[in-house]
Chain A
Amino acid sequence: GNSVTQMEGPVTLSEEAFLTINCTYTATGYPSLFWYVQYPGEGLQLLLKATKADDKGSNKGFEATYRKETTSFHLEKGSVQVSDSAVYFCALIATSGNTPLVFGKGTRLSVIA
């Protein structure tokens, strides 16, 4: 079946540190890949997406590249801010089957000043 595995948190970083949150997936066909962010007390916001191999999604300084050979979609940011503190979910939409969105378990990021 389709699944997403992302690194367990929590992750605690100092401001301006480099961020990587690992995400790997299992899916048949060619899924679309997503990162969603959930700030405290809020809903989910789409952070970035990629729909085919080698695509790079980017937004707000965050980037992730769709790597089919390693079935990965790692999230990176060069310099995190306190305002980036949130829970980050990696997710996929498979091109087969009827499941709308498959989520990873989420990674909580805390950035301290």
Chain B
Amino acid sequence: DTEVTQTPKHLVMGMTNKKSLKCEQHMGHRAMYWYKQKAKKPPELMFVYSYEKLSINESVPSRFSPECPNSSLLNLHLHALQPEDSALYLCASSQDPPGRSGNTIYFGEGSWLTVV
């Protein structure tokens, strides 16, 4: 089983709202990721958590705030977003943190975010 579950699947929010995206995996993976994908582009890395600690932050604006409550859960808190932040947000996980030979990253179905 290589399932990464994301909720909600669709989210519409205003620029003054606060919302959260949630991600869950029960594969015992030790690394979890947030990616952002715009139309017709490959996913872009936002954050990486390794062993529940933030290990990579790709200079993401502070209106995006990640949180890893435990080894199975990953949240992305959203506040004061802009319309250009509308995108597909993908969560992913891997057995090992980045840089390990043979590592494989598995993605969830994504959360479609529209900022109005």
Complex contacts, B101 vs chain A, CB 8 Å: 30, 32, 51, 95
Report if A100-B42 is in contact (Cβ < 8 Å); known contacts: A32-B102, A32-B104, A93-B103.
Answer: no
Name A46's contact: one of B40, B42, B45, B104 (CB within 8 Å). Answer: B104
Interface pair B107/A43, CB less than 8 Å apart: yes
Tell me the residues in window 85-112 of chain A with beta carbons closer than 8 Å to chain B beta carbons: 89, 93-101, 103-106, 108
Complex contacts, B55 vs chain A, CB 8 Å: 98
Interface pair B107/A36, CB less than 8 Å apart: yes
Say whether chain A's binding surface is mostly helix, strand, loop, or mixed.
loop
CA of A96 to CA of B99, assembled, Å = 6
Residue B67 lies at the interface, judged by CB distance under 8 Å to chain A: no
What mask results when residues 12 to 40 of chain B are scored 1 for a CB within 8 Å of chain A, else 0? Answer: 00000000000000000001010000001
**Chain A: CB-nearest residue to B48:** A100
Interface residues on B, range: 20 to 34
Residue A34 lies at the interface, judged by CB distance under 8 Å to chain B: yes
Residue A26 lies at the interface, judged by CB distance under 8 Å to chain B: no
What mask results when residues 40 to 56 of chain A are scored 1 for a CB within 8 Å of chain B, else 0? Answer: 00111110010100000
Report if A100-B94 is in contact (Cβ < 8 Å); known contacts: A43-B109, A106-B42.
Answer: yes
From A89, A93, A105, residue with most partner B Cβ within 10 Å: A93
> B residues within 8 Å of A by Cβ?
2, 6, 31, 33, 40-43, 45, 48, 55-56, 88, 90, 92, 94, 98-99, 101-110
The 6 closest A-B pairs by CB, nearest first: A103-B42, A43-B110, A44-B107, A43-B109, A100-B98, A95-B101
Not counting A51-B101, A51-B102, A97-B99, a sample of 12 additional A-B residue pairs whose C-beta atoms are within 8 angstroms of each other reads A32-B101, A32-B102, A32-B104, A42-B109, A44-B90, A46-B104, A46-B105, A98-B56, A100-B98, A100-B105, A101-B105, A105-B41
The 11 sampled A-B contact pairs (Cβ below 8 Å) are A32-B104, A36-B107, A42-B109, A44-B107, A46-B104, A49-B104, A94-B99, A95-B101, A100-B103, A100-B105, A103-B42
